[in-house]
Every structure is written in C-alpha cells, then in structure tokens.
Amino acid sequence: MNTSLETGPTTGLSKEYLLALPKAELHCHLGGCVPTEMAARLAKSHGVEIPESAVRHGGRYRFANFDEGLIVLNAVTSSMQTARDFEEVTYESLKVAASGGVRYREHYFDPQNHPKLSYPEMLKGILAGAQAAEDEVGVVSRIVPAINRELGGEAAVELVREIIRHPHEYVVGIGLDSDEKAGRPSEFVAAYDLAREAGLKLSAHAGEHGNPDEVEEALDLLKVDRLDHGYAALEDAELSSRLAASQLPVAACWFVDYPAWEVPGRIRDHKAMAAAGWNFTINSDDPALIGPELHDCYFDAATQMGWTVDDAERYSLAGLEGSFADSPTKDRLRAEFEAELERIRPLA
C-alpha cells in the first residue's frame, strides 16, 4: 500500500500551509477519537473486553472491514462509562485536532451506546472537556447527539425527548449513524420531527453503503439540514443534480473506507461530487479509529485533487458554513478564518 501521505504531497501547496489552514470539521464521532492507549486503559478500568488484537498499544486499531470497525468502535464506546471518561476523550480529541489546524469541530456521540451513564452526565463530561480545550487552545466545539439506527425508531424518539429535556446551547442538532443496513431513514421520521420542532438542526448518515433511495428518504422524510457521506446519490443523476441545485452541505469523509491506509481516500467519489457541483466538505469521521486526522485528509485531498490556494480556502470556509453553530458564533469564526487565510497565504 502506498498513499501520498507516505510519499509526501505532490500538490503545489506546502504541508506547512495545509497544516495551518483553519479547518472546521462537521463529521467526527467522539468514540472514534479515542487513542488506542486511552481505549485500552478505559476498557481495563471498567472491565470491558476490547480484543487485544484490535487495540495495539502505541499503534493503530486493527479491523478488516466496516462491520469489524463498528464492532471495535462499540467496544471503545462501551469503555466510556463516567463523565470523567467523556471529559478526557473530548479534551484529547480537540487538542489533537487543534494541533492540525482544526478551529471548530462538531462531535457526534451516541448516548444510546452508554447505557450505564445518564445523558446529563455524558453531557457534563463532554462540556467540561470542550471548555478545557477551548480555554487552552481556542478550539470551538459543539455537540450533535446521534441516534444509533440499529436500535430502531421508538428508542430514537425516547432519545430525542431526553435531549430536549436537557437543552444546552452547545447541543446544536441530532444525527443518525451506525450500520445503514440496520435502519432506513424512514424509521426515524417521528424522532426527526420532534427534534426539528425543538429547534435542533438535523443531519443523518445516508448513502455511505446503502443506495440512493436512502439519501432521498433523508432529504424528503427527515428533511435534513445536512447529509453525512451521501456518496450513493452519485449513482442517481437526478438526485445528484438536486443536491447540486440545493447546495445542501454534504459532510463527506476522505478516508472513510475501512481500514484506512490500505485503500486510497475516496478520491473518485470526491472528484465526482466536485464535478457534479455538490457543496461537500472534507471530514475525518473517526480519526483515531481509522488513522488519519483531519489535516491528513486535507493533505491527501489537496494532492489527489490538485488544489490551488483558492480551492483550499473554499474547503476551509465551506466547513464553517455547513456547521450548526449559531449565527453570532459563525460570524465570529468566519472573521477569524478569513483573517487567518490571508495571514498564511505566503506559506502556500
């Protein structure tokens, strides 16, 4: 296997510039941001089994395909059992991301994967970690609780009710994740209606492995404000044109194929999305689990797609514009991004 990450970028843009590029990440699962050593320690402290072969100290997670990746991810999230665990994971995720130029990150997290902890306790931990990282390195983050689609529509309604019972300005929306084979978007209409009425923004994973119909359901039935992955819509010319016309933000993930490093990034899909005129952004999905951090995704995307400075700046700002942050926060960050983009241009 040989990716451009190992041979160094061939884009005209320097690594120094791409590292410094201000980045906003919209599609990143908290459970996929746990370094292997931390996962092993948390698992041991709570008596959870993570196969030794999957969590190698000082190394990467090991799994052969998407389904195995989800099993490892579930074991890691089962190891997060206290507010302090959530605080530590959130802080670590944001500190690592900030060192690669991430200025804003939305964390998805699946409250249903942590049955031993109440939702308010999880939130308390995430907020503490987010505040500590923001105070220390200035990275801003928001929280998007996600429905685990494997647990069905009724449990999803219960979850959304719990989210609404405990509002917080940092909880900006809901998502829908896990195995697409286990739950079509149409099962979650009631949960999405409730969330929308409560003023939450809506995103959903669709078209990652499934077919274009699922993307259509996410648009028409869930009425999402943003789509995660969405690649399957490329197979349907009409749907693809619709995404281009609406400019709905699509939070795509560069290295989403499992396991990363053994396959190239989703270069074909990203090129097709660009050619079709979609408004997509670059994301890491599960950086610790898959391997590459967001800046690695940017390095590879810049190389593979031959980015110019204009392209890099466009992707930087598209991430921010697609975020669920409130308008004053977005306005403040936009001003910061624009000033920073200008400042670092000579590094390009």
CB 312 within 8 A of CB 18: yes
Sheet of strand 102-109, all strands in order from the earlier edge strand to the far edge: 23-29, 102-109, 140-148, 173-177, 201-206, 226-229, 249-253, 279-283
CB of 173 to Zn ion, least distance (A): 14
CB of 274 to ligand ADE, least distance (A): 21
Site string for ligand ADE, 50-89 (x = CB under 6 A): -----------------------x----------------
Decide: residue 140, CB within 10 A, 0-12 exposed, 13-18 middle, 19+ buried: buried
> Is the Cβ of residue 73 or residue 126 nearer to ligand ADE in the bound state?
73
CB 112 within 8 A of CB 161: no
Helix, strand or coil, per DSSP, at residue 308: coil
Residue 251 sits in the site that holds ligand ADE (CB under 6 A): no
Two tokens at 194?
A: 């409730």
Residue 286 sits in the site that holds ligand ADE (CB under 6 A): yes
CB of 167 to ligand ADE, least distance (A): 24
Q: Which span (230-238, 271-279, 280-288, 310-318) binds Zn ion, by CB under 5 A?
A: 280-288
* Residues linked to residue 267 through DSSP beta bridges, in sequence order: none
Q: Provide the residue type at 314 as one letter.
A: R
Residue 256 sits in the site that holds ligand ADE (CB under 6 A): yes
Indicate which of Zn ion, ligand ADE, none lies near residue 32 (CB less than 5 to 8 Å, by partner kind). ligand ADE
CB 114 within 8 A of CB 81: yes
Q: To which residue do tokens 């400042």 refer?
A: 343
Q: Which of 87, 88, 187, 208 is catalytic?
A: 208
Residue 175 sits in the site that holds ligand ADE (CB under 6 A): no
> Is the Cβ of residue 217 or residue 285 nearer to Zn ion in the bound state?
285
CB of 313 to Zn ion, least distance (A): 25
Give me the DSSP letters along 48-85.
Answer: ----TTTB-TTS-B--SSHHHHHHHHHHHHHT--SHHH
CB 129 within 8 A of CB 122: no
Of the candidate residues 177, 187, 214, 293, the single one contacting ligand ADE (CB under 6 A): 177
> Is the Cβ of residue 35 or residue 69 nearer to Zn ion in the bound state?
69
Helix, strand or coil, per DSSP, at residue 1: coil
Q: Which span (73-81, 82-90, 179-187, 284-292) binds Zn ion, by CB under 5 A?
A: 284-292
Q: What share of the chain is helix, strand, coil (3-state, %, to 5)?
A: 55, 15, 30
Indicate which of ligand ADE, Zn ion, none lies near residue 103 (CB less than 5 to 8 Å, by partner kind). none
Indicate which of ligand ADE, Zn ion, none lies near residue 296 (CB less than 5 to 8 Å, by partner kind). none
Residue 300 sits in the site that holds ligand ADE (CB under 6 A): no
Residue 257 sits in the site that holds ligand ADE (CB under 6 A): no
Residue 285 sits in the site that holds Zn ion (CB under 5 A): yes
Residue 160's contacts (CB-CB under 8 Å, 6 or more residues apart) are 147, 174, 191, 194, 195, 198
Residue 216 sits in the site that holds Zn ion (CB under 5 A): no
Residue 32 sits in the site that holds ligand ADE (CB under 6 A): yes
Cα distances (angstroms) measured from residue 68 to each of 17, 40, 210: 36, 17, 17
Of the candidate residues 3, 17, 20, 29, the single one contacting ligand ADE (CB under 6 A): 29
Catalytic-residue membership of 197: no
State the residues that interact with Zn ion by CB under 5 A.
Answer: 285
Residues recognised as catalytic: 208
